[in-house]
């Protein structure tokens, strides 16, 4: 039986550990410990694992950036996380009116303000779903 721990250590030494995508010696887009993204990609399980980590990271960013975040309902927190996941915390912080409406508890105006933005024009249905979830406090999930 192989010793996985020993093999992992050896492969990390030989392949290297790169946390950013790079082109390997065969000019293939690669990440991690020799993961060839061009030919292999990632599995659904790997994508979901990364997504869960990204959601946790975004949630932490929201909690540390907005004192009002913890007071929101779960569905409204999810709407904010969706927004920040999509545009990043720096860009979301530029939505001053939307944020002010959220902070004051006027979620109808927050949703309307979100829809009255270039962001809404760029992402279409996503913005409508998130704005509706923010204002109505009802899930806007769609079957995939």
pLDDT tens-digit readout, 80-128: 999 999 999 999 999 999 999 999 999 999 999 999 999 999 999 999 9
Residue 43 has pLDDT above 50, yes or no: yes
Residue 141 has pLDDT above 90, yes or no: no
Residue 143 has pLDDT above 50, yes or no: no
Q: What is the pTM of this model?
A: 0.85
Contacts of 111 (CB under 8 A, 6+ apart): 131, 132, 134, 135, 136
Residue 142 has pLDDT above 80, yes or no: no
CA distance 61 to 86: 13
**pLDDT of the residue at 140:** 75
Task: Please state the domain extents for the chain.
Answer: 4-36, 44-136
Give the residue-averaged pLDDT of 65-84.
96
**pLDDT of the residue at 144:** 42
Whether domain 44-136 has CATH 1.10.530.40: the reply is yes
* Location of structure tokens 């009116």: 97
**pLDDT of the residue at 137:** 87
CA distance 128 to 121: 10
Question: Which tokens is 73 given?
Answer: 């309902």
Percent of the chain with pLDDT over 70: 97
**pLDDT of the residue at 98:** 96
Torsion over CA of 125, 128, 134 and 139, rounded to 10 degrees?
-50
Give the residue-averaged pLDDT of 122-138.
93
Percent of the chain with pLDDT over 90: 93
């Amino acid at each position: 039986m192989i010793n996985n721990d020993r093999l992992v250590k050896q492969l990390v030494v030989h392949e290297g550990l790169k946390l950013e995508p790079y082109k390997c010696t065969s000019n293939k887009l690669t990440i991690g410990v020799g993961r060839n993204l061009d030919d292999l990609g990632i599995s659904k399980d790997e994508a979901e694992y990364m997504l869960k980590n990204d959601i946790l990271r975004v949630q932490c960013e929201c909690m540390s950036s907005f004192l009002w975040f913890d007071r929101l309902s779960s569905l409204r927190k999810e709407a904010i996380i969706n927004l920040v996941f999509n545009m990043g915390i720096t860009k979301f912080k530029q939505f001053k009116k939307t944020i002010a409406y959220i902070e004051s508890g006027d979620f109808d105006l927050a949703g309307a303000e979100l829809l009255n933005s270039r962001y809404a024009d760029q992402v279409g249905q996503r913005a409508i779903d998130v704005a509706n979830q923010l204002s109505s406090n009802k899930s806007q999930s769609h079957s995939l």
